Amino acid sequence: MTGKADGTGTARSRRALVAGSVGNFIEWYEFGVYGYFATIIAANFFAPAGASDLEALVKTYASFALAFFFRPLGAAVFGRLGDRIGRRPLLILVVLLMSAATALIGVLPTYDTIGAAAPWLLTLVRILQGLSAGGEFGGAVSLMTEFAPDRKRGLYGSWQSFTVALGLLGGAGAAAVMATLLTEADLKAWGWRIPFLLAVPLGALALWLRLRLEETPSFTNRETQVKPSAGETARAILLGIARLMGWSAAGYTFLVVMPSYLQTTLNATFQQALIATVVANLGFALAIIPAGMLSDRYGRRVVMTTGAALIVVLALPLMNVLQDPGGSLTLKAAAVFVAGAVVGLMAGPGPAMLAEMFPTNVRYTGLGLAYSLSNAVFSGSAGLIITQLIKNTGDADIPAYYVMATCLISTAALLTLRGTAHTERLRP
Domain ranges of the chain: 7-217+229-420
Mean pLDDT by 10 residues, the chain (428 residues): 50 88 87 78 72 64 74 94 93 93 92 86 88 91 90 93 85 85 87 92 92 88 75 95 95 76 71 78 92 96 97 91 78 87 96 94 94 86 78 86 95 94 84
Q: CA dihedral in degrees (16, 19, 24, 25; nearest 10)?
A: 130
Q: Which of 124, 76, 154, 123 is nearest to 368 (CA)?
A: 76
Residue 303 pLDDT? 97
Residue 49 pLDDT? 54
Residue 224 pLDDT? 64
Q: CA dihedral in degrees (203, 204, 209, 212; nearest 10)?
A: 130
Instruction: Please check whether residue 348 is in contact with residue 292, taking contact to mean a CB–CB distance below 8 angstroms.
Output: yes
Q: Which of 9, 103, 98 is nearest to 90 (CA)?
A: 98
One-letter identity of residue 139: G
Residue 55 pLDDT? 63
Q: Which of 206, 195, 171 is nearest to 95 (CA)?
A: 206
First to last CA, the chain: 7
Instruction: Please check whether residue 167 is in contact with residue 27, taking contact to mean a CB–CB distance below 8 angstroms.
Output: yes
Residue 53 pLDDT? 60
Distance of alpha carbon 291 from alpha carbon 13, whole angstroms: 20
Distance of alpha carbon 294 from alpha carbon 296, whole angstroms: 5
- Would you call 55 helix, strand, or coil by DSSP? helix
Instruction: Please check whether residue 245 is in contact with residue 410, taking contact to mean a CB–CB distance below 8 angstroms.
Output: yes
Q: Which runs of consecutive H residues, i.e. helices, occur in 199-348? A: 199-211, 217-220, 230-252, 258-264, 270-298, 300-323, 329-347
Instruction: Tell me the pTM.
Output: 0.83
Q: Which CATH architecture has domain 7-217+229-420?
A: Up-down Bundle (1.20)
Residue 51 pLDDT? 55
In sequence order, the 6+-apart residues with CB closer than 8 A to the CB of 307 are 246, 247, 291, 342, 343, 344, 345, 346
Distance of alpha carbon 340 from alpha carbon 282, whole angstroms: 7
Q: What is the pLDDT of residues 91-143, one digit of tens each?
A: 999 999 999 999 999 999 988 888 888 888 888 898 898 899 889 999 999 99
The Cα diameter of the chain in Å comes to 66
Residue 4 pLDDT? 45
